[in-house]
Amino acid sequence: MTLTSTGAPSSTHLRSDVGRSPLSFYVHVPFCARRCGYCAFVTSAPGEVVGPTGEVPGEWTARHRLWADAAAAEVGLAAERLGSDVPPIGSIYFGGGTPTAVDASLIVGVLEAIGRNFELVDDIEVTVEANPDGLATGQLDRLVDGGVTRISFGMQSTSESALRTLDRTHPGTLAPAAVSAARLAGAAHVSLDLIYGTPGETDDEWAASVRTALSCDVDHISAYSLSVEPRTRLAARIRTGQLPHPDPDSAARRYRIADEACQEAGFEWYELSNWAAEPAARCRHNLGTWRDHDWWGIGPGAHSHVGRQRWWNHSSERTWAGDVRSGGVPAAGHEVLDEDSRRCERIMLGIRLREGLAIDERMDPAVLEELASSGLIGLIPTAGPPGAELIVLTAQGRLVADHVVRSLL
């Protein structure tokens, strides 16, 4: 069974588990200019909460510095707790929130703290999420000069009505200019994130959004189905009847539209919701997640995964920063996973990948045959032992991936 408790993970277990798989860092930046109506992430916008030192929000520059100082301190704490047998770091991902809501020097400062405390691979991938609007003059140049290699813009849609429903702050025409600015700054890779299934959005509007994204100078596209999270403005509007609930059949059509358009443009799917123009453009950080690799999450609300240990930081900026300053892992709780739980995770994550999921001895051959004959999976021979095969979702199987997982388990 999975063992869950409050408090921090065991340093002994961390040191025994680290090095068994590649390690990356996720850095959570908990600030936005305005919270989107569908967002349930740990972030804050002006006027929402009290800051870590008890001040009324307003002195955002000071709060940003406090976050950056505590994030750098958590990096040092990670180095201390993981010990010396840490493999070189292959990817660092700044997410949020909106990382570009803070000054570029603060992002670069945290990046430099990781470089001081850990060995980095020569071709490290460093991603920063951004919105197409709100970019300060020279901000992208400073990020790229400081070591950022990949910019991921939250475009979501070109439909003005869909963007209003999602409470986005940028106009639908702005993404191409943002992509051009990232390329001019020297970003090696640029991605656009899209959301499909927004209430009121039509198939034609969605297709236009995909076409616009593919016409930009990007080498990566992500497309996610809108998720209605509890305690969000979007959930409240659906609950009170202001908006209809997203329709799963419409979502399936939109996925097919995106997949067909990406393939026609030369982009191949490599993960359920992601397409890349070439292998080098695939998001290495996200691939690590789907391959069940290790990562340490920095920042309030960030989740971490090292071997059998999972933990999640306090979502309160004040509590998180206080724990870091006192020298403790700022964990609100942690889990120790047994082999059954880890197997379940490996199947849930690995089935999403085009590279395929290895068949294990506990999978029922009759179930595999039924899924294959139904056209939901393909069974691909491997270069391993004779008879060894990988499970790969078909185009139809990608639409019902959850069903496939339940069948395999």
d(CA 95, CA 302): 10
Q: Where in the chain is the domain with CATH 3.20.20.70?
A: 3-290
* Amino acid found at 138: G
Measure the CA–CA gap between 200 and 327, rounded to whole angstroms.
49
Residue 55: CB atoms within 10 Å:
12
Query: Whole-angstrom Cα distance, residue 24 to residue 125?
Result: 10
H helix count then E strand count, the chain:
15, 16
Which candidate, 360, 349, 346, 347, places its Cα nearest to that of 389? Answer: 360
Backbone angles phi, psi at 295, to 5 degrees: -150, 155
Encode pLDDT of 211-266 as tens digits.
Answer: 999 999 999 999 999 999 999 999 999 999 999 999 999 999 999 999 999 999 99
pLDDT single digits (tens) 7-45: 777 777 788 778 778 999 999 999 998 889 888 899 988
The predicted structure's pLDDT at residue 49: 54
For residue 325, give both structure tokens.
């300053």
The predicted structure's pLDDT at residue 236: 94
Amino acid residing at 361: E
Reduce the DSSP state of residue 154 to 3 states and report it.
strand
Pick the CATH number of 339-409 from 1.10.1240, 1.10.10, 3.30.70, 1.20.120: 1.10.10
Residue ranges matching CATH 1.10.10 in the chain: 339-409
CA–CA separation, 153 and 155 (whole Å): 6
Q: List the one residue out of 25, 236, 226, 234 whose CA is nearest residue 121.
A: 25
Residue 46, pLDDT score: 78
Cα 189 to Cα 251: distance, rounded to the nearest angstrom: 28
The confidence score (pLDDT) of residue 52 equals 47
What string of pLDDT tens digits covers the 409 residues of the chain? Answer: 465 666 777 777 788 778 778 999 999 999 998 889 888 899 988 766 554 455 444 578 899 999 999 999 999 999 999 998 899 999 999 999 999 999 999 999 999 999 999 999 999 999 999 999 999 999 999 999 999 999 999 999 999 999 999 999 999 999 999 999 999 999 999 999 999 999 999 999 999 999 999 999 999 999 999 999 999 999 999 999 999 999 999 999 999 999 999 999 999 999 999 999 999 999 999 999 999 999 999 999 999 999 889 999 999 999 999 999 999 899 999 999 899 999 999 999 999 999 999 999 999 999 999 999 999 999 999 877 766 899 999 999 999 999 999 999 9
CA–CA distance, 400 with 385 (Å, rounded to integer): 30
Helices 175-185 and 203-215 cross at an angle (nearest 10°) of 20
The CATH number of the domain covering residues in 3-290: 3.20.20.70
Q: What is the pTM of this model?
A: 0.94
pLDDT at 388: 84
Strand 189-196 with 150-156, pairing? parallel
Return the CA Rg of the chain. Answer: 21
